[in-house]
A and B are shown apart, each in its own frame.
Chain A
Amino acid sequence: MKPTRFDLRLNLVFFLIAAMGAVLMGSLWYMQIVRGEEYQRLATTNRIRLIRLSAPRGIIYDRHGEILADNRPGFDVVVNLPEVEDRRRLVEKLGEILDLPAARIESRLDTFRERPFEPVTVASDIGILKATILEEMNPELGGVQVVVNPVRNYPAGSGLAHLLGYVGQISPRELERLVEDGYRAQDDIGKIGVEAVYDRELRGTAGGEQVQVTARGFRDRLLSRRPARAGNNLHLTIDLRAQTILEELMDGYTGSAVAVDPVRGDIMAMVSNPSFDPNLMVRPVDDRYVSELFASPGSPMLNRALAGEYPPGSIFKPVVALAALEFSGITPSRTYDCGGIFSLGSVSFRCWREGGHGRIDLSEALKRSCNVYFYRLGLETGVDGIEAASRRLGLGQRIGIELGGERPGLVPGREWKRSAIGEGWYPGDTVNLSIGQGFITVTPIQAAWLAAVIAREGTPARFRLVSAVSSPEGKRLEEFDPVPATAAGFSRPAWAELRKSLLRAVAEPGGTAHGISDPAISIAGKTGTAQVAGPPGKGTHSWFVGMAPADDPEVVVAVILEHAGRGSEHAAPLAGRFLAGYLVP
């Protein structure tokens, strides 16, 4: 049979491939057999090493360009084992200067036994004093080198620890997951907070040096160098001035405080107490600090602003008021009589004020935080309305802050109680819910969100933490614009009534927060005094959510002080001082 054109062309292609294969085979023969010995000599005297240069992390700025996290030079002690003459003497001397037990140095030296040519980091960030001593002794101690590497530095210390997080050496498990993304052992990686969430922006690209070394591994000559490229910078919405004021006021309290610009959704300040010093986590000189932190009963590692779920107490009353106006046709002029006590069947619920508030309307009840008024209002509205309003106001779900670890809080309802507790919903549960007690919990960030929704009459911007990313040279790479949130709904008159009542609570005598009224600024807000289940003798949580200036709020704030007492006596004055300190120059 005559070959077809396909066969002819296929033969041609095949012969082309075969010819190239023959060239490969020939070269292989030439390299391995003809010049094999020459290459073997090159291999045994191979003196070219690649050294990885770690990249400085990007800098984190506040909204005005103040530095929240940067890098400082840290001095690491590196040992090149092939150069060491007397290992025992070296370990002894190092232990003396660095104040480290010999066993620990030995175990560090053994870490990379499989790679005898790799320099071993024996101690990191030893401080300039010890570094100088070592440098002077270097000729005496062969094989020891002091290397300068960037170390993460948090100038603000413990204040922003939860928010910024910290970096640490990559763990074997993290490495397994990330090795294909270019992470290597001994790299730093963000562990929690902004450092963890934005690690890929911040970490930069490692560089390298091609170095010729002597027969004993000593660095002889730099052949070429590719500098490391620093990571991108982050610009946060945090305002360091606001943060510092809030931190100083919160000092000594256990709890949390959050301040937000409701127009742009910018989180300006976030405090969670007790806290920890992130600088001590970066290169833990003393492991005890870290283990004590994790075991501490005050949970300093917990970011209370996002993960602390507290009963809201009376700061929940505005939610009940909105539910009543929206779902049950109740008008603000509705009055109830408060005699100081309210009976439901055989159970009686008390108002916080003995003797009661008399016959009052909705605005007056919010201003004075009358419990009996809200018991009755809540019962008339019903749990379903309160639950629906709570969800529309963002409670019972995560706000969605890009930090990780946020908790959703809890909005109870008939269905929830049936599945979670296995019981029906009782009117007594509604009574408790009406003053923010019982099953309901909110986080401080949700409380701030509630304040922001009220401040913007249902349409605040979504909360955010990062406003821009810039290159190491300072060029803006990305700018994030404020994103409006889905409108919460509710009628304009309802919002107006609510804002008027919260202003009266501060501005008018008899208001629960009148103690913080200040002629220089108009503040509106709601106090809360939340009773806590648990061991008796523990005081109530002290809450305040507020905004200023009241007619067009620029700042909203939420404060909770655990077991501190009444909202009007602790949280409200603290928030008042913050707003005055920040807004009145």
Chain B
Amino acid sequence: MFSFKALKHLDWTLLAVVLALAVIGVFFIHSASYQLRLATGVRFSHRQAVWLGLGLILYFLLAAVDYRKLIYFAYPLLGLAVIMLALIIVAGEARLGARRWLQVWGLNVQPSEIAKLFLVMALARYLSERFPERWRWSYSLVACLIALVPAALILRQPDLGTALVFVPIALGMIFLAGARLKHLIVLLLILLILLPVFWFTLRDYQRTRLLVFANPDLDPLGAGYTVIQSKIAIGSGGLHGKGWLGGTQNMLSFLPERQTDFIFSVVAEEWGFLGSAALLGLFSVLICRLFVIAHRCRDLGGRLLAAGGMILISTHVIVNVGMAMGLLPATGLPLPFISYGGTVTVAMFSVMGLCQSVYAHRYWHLY
């Protein structure tokens, strides 16, 4: 099933950019978790380096397999993710608060991150297989339902931020697959109508969480405080920054969640505008490469895979950076390749592996 000959046709720019981002991530996780390490002794950057390695292995394995074979497994894989998400709700019922982790062989796995990856694959398969029926209602509707099941389960955790990522991915891919615009607009309206219905199925403490999302001032110790401190961190970075390990907002522990959701603030504080703009530049190159891969591919499944990957990465970058700058509500989305986290890192590398496979196997239909 693996054909390493395909690796000769790799998009090396894509690989180089992803690697550069991930290495920058390890360095800034070291900086951001410096105080936490002194307090707990846990070396977060070492752990992240292990996941980087693991992600890289998966990246090459996936790139070596024809993506047409990979999408073939999309449905059972998404089913597996849905089962894991359901398990979390069952296992987490006894405890208060949100529960997003599942213990698998002693490792904490975050199924919602895995679900994003499998959703892109499942939609690519469904939308390309049923392409001849694209003018039908059922085409868009079923695709939406495929996304809705995991999204609803994630919303129950509750993790509104991650659930909302499913919306641009699903709608974007349905749009790109050639569905009728009328259908898309109606689906969007239905989604808006469904939101209040869902509200009443939530528990009290879950509603409080969502209210805080809408209005951070309700929770000045959590989200509100974080946003203020994050803006100070970014702004005070200035042009050149305070130097790696030199950020006062970071080192004096003013910033909560700084090795995960707010790591961009650490980069901006310590590397300044030059460094953080360069980081956004790297993400731009990455997104451009995915755009080119989607363009060059001549088969709908591959196009949708690459375009889905592009939407997934850009949504994360835009929401995460926007939230660090206080432009968007703090919802807790990681910055791909930079934020600390095992599942998310491995999942993002896998998405890139899929896109790389699309690129590497682009000539095969000629043979």
Tell me the A residues contacting B by CB distance below 8 Å. Answer: 5-7, 9-10, 13-14, 17, 20-21, 23-25, 27-29, 31-33, 35-40, 42-44, 46, 48, 50, 112, 114-115, 117, 172, 175-176, 179-180, 184-185, 200, 205, 207-210, 223-226, 229, 477-478
| CB < 8 Å neighbour of A36 from B237, B287, B321 | B237
Are A43 and B176 CB-contacts (below 8 A) given A25-B280, A114-B35? no
Are A27 and B176 CB-contacts (below 8 A) given A17-B318, A205-B97? no
Are A6 and B300 CB-contacts (below 8 A) given A24-B280, A43-B233? yes
Closest to B313 in A: A17
Across the interface, do A115 and B318 meet the contact criterion of CB distance under 8 Å? no
B91 to chain A, nearest CB (A): 13
Q: Does B178 contact A (CB under 8 A)?
A: yes
Across the interface, do A40 and B236 meet the contact criterion of CB distance under 8 Å? yes
| CB < 8 Å neighbour of A31 from B229, B234, B300 | B234
Query: Which chain A residues border B3 with CB–CB below 8 Å?
Result: none
A467 to chain B, nearest CB (A): 16
Closest to B41 in A: A172
Across the interface, do B273 and A33 meet the contact criterion of CB distance under 8 Å? yes
What would be 12 A-B contacts, judged by CB atoms less than 8 Å apart?
A: A6-B300, A13-B307, A20-B314, A23-B327, A29-B273, A31-B231, A32-B235, A39-B231, A40-B236, A50-B256, A175-B41, A179-B42
Q: Is the interface of A mostly helix, strand, loop or mixed?
A: helix
| CB < 8 Å neighbour of B276 from A7, A23, A32, A172 | A32
Q: Which of B4-12, B111-119, B245-253 contacts A (4 or more CB under 8 A)?
A: B245-253
Are A39 and B221 CB-contacts (below 8 A) given A20-B318, A33-B273? no
Across the interface, do A32 and B35 meet the contact criterion of CB distance under 8 Å? no
Query: Which chain A residues border B303 with CB–CB below 8 Å?
Result: 6, 10
Closest to B287 in A: A17
Across the interface, do B248 and A224 meet the contact criterion of CB distance under 8 Å? no
Across the interface, do B236 and A6 meet the contact criterion of CB distance under 8 Å? no
Closest to A7 in B: B295
Bound-state CA distance A13–B310 (Å) is: 10
Query: Which chain A residues border B284 with CB–CB below 8 Å?
Result: 21
Bound-state CA distance A286–B188 (Å) is: 67
Across the interface, do B40 and A115 meet the contact criterion of CB distance under 8 Å? no
Query: Which chain B residues border A42 with CB–CB below 8 Å?
Result: 232, 235-236
Bound-state CA distance A24–B291 (Å) is: 20
Across the interface, do A184 and B249 meet the contact criterion of CB distance under 8 Å? no
Q: Does B108 contact A (CB under 8 A)?
A: yes
Query: Which chain A residues border B144 with CB–CB below 8 Å?
Result: none
A269 to chain B, nearest CB (A): 29
Across the interface, do B280 and A39 meet the contact criterion of CB distance under 8 Å? no
Q: Does B254 contact A (CB under 8 A)?
A: yes
Across the interface, do B221 and A224 meet the contact criterion of CB distance under 8 Å? yes
| CB < 8 Å neighbour of A10 from B42, B225, B228, B294 | B294
Query: Which chain A residues border B277 with CB–CB below 8 Å?
Result: 25, 28-29
| CB < 8 Å neighbour of A28 from B220, B225, B280, B310 | B280
Closest to A186 in B: B39
Across the interface, do A38 and B235 meet the contact criterion of CB distance under 8 Å? yes
Bound-state CA distance A223–B221 (Å) is: 9
Q: Does B65 contact A (CB under 8 A)?
A: no
Across the interface, do B314 and A17 meet the contact criterion of CB distance under 8 Å? yes
B91-111 Cβ-contact flags toward A at 8 Å (1 or 0): 000111100010000001000
Q: Does B325 contact A (CB under 8 A)?
A: yes
Q: Does B79 contact A (CB under 8 A)?
A: no
Bound-state CA distance A40–B240 (Å) is: 12
Across the interface, do B94 and A184 meet the contact criterion of CB distance under 8 Å? no
Query: Which chain A residues border B239 with CB–CB below 8 Å?
Result: 32-33, 36
Are A226 and B221 CB-contacts (below 8 A) given A28-B280, A43-B233? yes
Bound-state CA distance A21–B253 (Å) is: 29
Query: Which chain A residues border B291 with CB–CB below 8 Å?
Result: 10, 14
